[in-house]
Structure 1
Amino acid sequence: MLLRANDSILIVVDMQARLVPAVAHSEEVTGRVAFMLQVARRLDVPVILTEQYPDGLGGTVEAVRTQAPDSPVVEKMNFSAMREPDFARRLSALRRRQAVICGAETHVCVMQTAAETATTGFDTFVVADACGSRRDSDKRAGLERLARHGIEAVTSEMVAFEWLHRAGTDAFRDVIKLIR
């Protein structure tokens, strides 16, 4: 199944000030998340950000937050955002069927959010290069487990080109500048 911008929601999980520095390859992961947000903004894909216990882990890192200044941020205590009534309500209100998920940590909050989002009927995709864990082995295990449950791992460029679906448009010219 291909992704469609007009049916997608981008969910950015817990890219927070006290967590992101501990994530392996954090600069690369943060850059890919920021790229996803730029593409989503250009293609009018709605975004929801989450923050796990922000009193302890801090707010969303600036490099991410600046790319989604008007997007809602849902605070959570549950590892799965789907267990937070405000998140589930916002997700449902968007009336879209494809959930594209990225953030930290892959094997905990990303995995649990993706698994529970899929059980509610969303076609669910995890953006592998825009996800991170403190250990690479945990990231791999999280992605493998999600795959066993039918959740597809994609890359940020796969998402961008599927959302675009064709070259030669103004949107394509804008997005291709972000890739080069």
Structure 2
Amino acid sequence: MSSAKIFGKFAFARGLRPRPITTSSLYLHRRSVTIDATTTMESGSRLRHKKPAIFVCDLQDKFRNAIHQFDKVVLTTQKVLRAAKILNIPVFATTQIAAKLGATVPEIQKEISASAVPYTEADKTAFSMLGAAEISSAFPVPGHEIVIVGIESHICVTQTSLDLLARGHKVYVLADGVSSCNPQEIPIALARLRSEGAIVTTSESWLYECMGDASIPEFREIAKLVKETGADTKAALAGLLGDPST
């Protein structure tokens, strides 16, 4: 499918209008990395997750007013990226046809610019993040623990998760960090991913599982982060998962 047709699907279905952007506005910087045993040795050796990576899927300005609880997805992603800085976890991000749909939102760019973790950002036309060669080629062997945040849960997040599972990776989809334009799509997508073998969990649960032990040096910083973002976490859980008592 051509880029024009793909954008047409997004634009007319979601009520979006193209806005030209400059190349310089797409990325603050790019620190491409290939993830192998040596890349993650420093952080992975002391974490329960030995080869962790974070995927940020298509959090772009053009989707801000179209996606259900978009701001809550951004809040969770910001927390995850701050954790990445503490735990030295590499981050991979994509944009979907950035020339038409805009750059990664400023809130996320700000977190990335403040971090020295390995970072790769790629533009794509495929719905799966692995459709971007820069990201696909960074994972030459299976066995990584990959956490996914972003949009849309039933399209790009689903196809990325399925491709990662097929390649032999362990996939964590954060229920407080993914969304779609139509909220009814979200629980169906999460149920499907769970049945396919993905782990559907929350950002806080993933954080503590990734560490695995309170004796690691980074634990106090992560505990501080969890406390500082407590209100944001509650807002994201309420907005994306609702009140379990109702």
Do they fold alike, i.e. is TM over 0.5? yes
Task: Give ranges in structure 2 of 5+ residues lacking alignment.
Answer: 1-46, 228-246
Correspondence for 2:128: 80
* 2:86 is aligned with 1:24: no
Q: Does the 8 Å contact 2:128/2:160 carry over to 1?
A: yes
CA distance in 1, matches of 2:166, 2:226: 33
RMSD over aligned CA atoms reads 1.8
Give 1 or 2: higher strand fraction: 1
Q: Which residue of 2 aligns with 1:148?
A: 195
Deviation at 1:169, TM superposition (A): 4.4
After TM superposition, the score normalised by the length of structure 2 is 0.67
Structure having the higher Rg: 2
State how far apart, in whole Å, the 2-side matches of 1:35 and 1:80 are: 23
8 Å contact from structure 1 (residues 80, 113) kept in 2: yes
Name the stretch that deviates more: 4-13 or 117-126.
4-13
Describe the superposition over 1:134-161 as per-residue Cα deviations: whole angstroms up to 9, x where unpaired.
1211111111111121111011001111
Deviates more, 1:30-39 or 1:169-178: 169-178
Aligned-pair CA distance for 1:52: 0.7
CA-to-aligned-CA distance 1:76-106 (integer Å, 9 cap, x gap) = 000012223222002338x761111111111
Q: Cα distance, 1:168 vs. partner?
A: 4.8
Kept in 1, the 8 Å contact 2:120–2:135? The answer is no
- In 1: Cα distance, 2:209 partner to 2:72 partner: 22
Q: Which amino acid aligns with 1:28?
A: K
Q: TM-score, normalised by structure 1?
A: 0.91
Equivalent residue number for residue 163 of structure 1: 210
* Matches of 1:173 and 1:33, distance apart in 2: 20
Identity of aligned residues (%): 27
Task: Report the AA paired with residue 38 of structure 1.
Answer: R
After superposition, the Cα gap between the structure-2 partners of 1:68 and 1:141, relative to the gap in structure 1 and judged at 3 Å, is: same
Q: 1:120 maps to which residue?
A: 167
1:119 partner letter: A
* 8 Å CA contact retained: 2:148, 2:173: yes
Instruction: Measure the CA separation in 2 of the matches of 1:117 and 1:150.
Output: 11
Residues 2-151 of structure 1 aligned to structure 2 (within 5 Å): 4-69=48-113, 71-92=119-140, 97-151=144-198
Aligned counterparts of 1:121 and 1:167: Cα–Cα separation in 2 = 29
CA contact (8 A) 1:82 1:116 kept: yes
SS at match of 1:10: strand
Counterpart Cα distance in 1 of 2:54 and 2:140: 13
Is the CA contact 1:5–1:45 (under 8 Å) kept in the aligned structure 2? no
2:234 maps to none
Query: Which residue identity is paired with 1:13?
Result: C
Of 39-48 and 17-26, more deviation after overlay is shown by: 17-26
Structure 1 residues 19-28 or 47-56, which shifts more? 19-28
Runs of 4+ in 1 over 6 A off after TM superposition: none
Q: How many residues align?
A: 177
- Assess if the C-alpha contact under 8 Å between 2:120 and 2:134 holds in 1: no
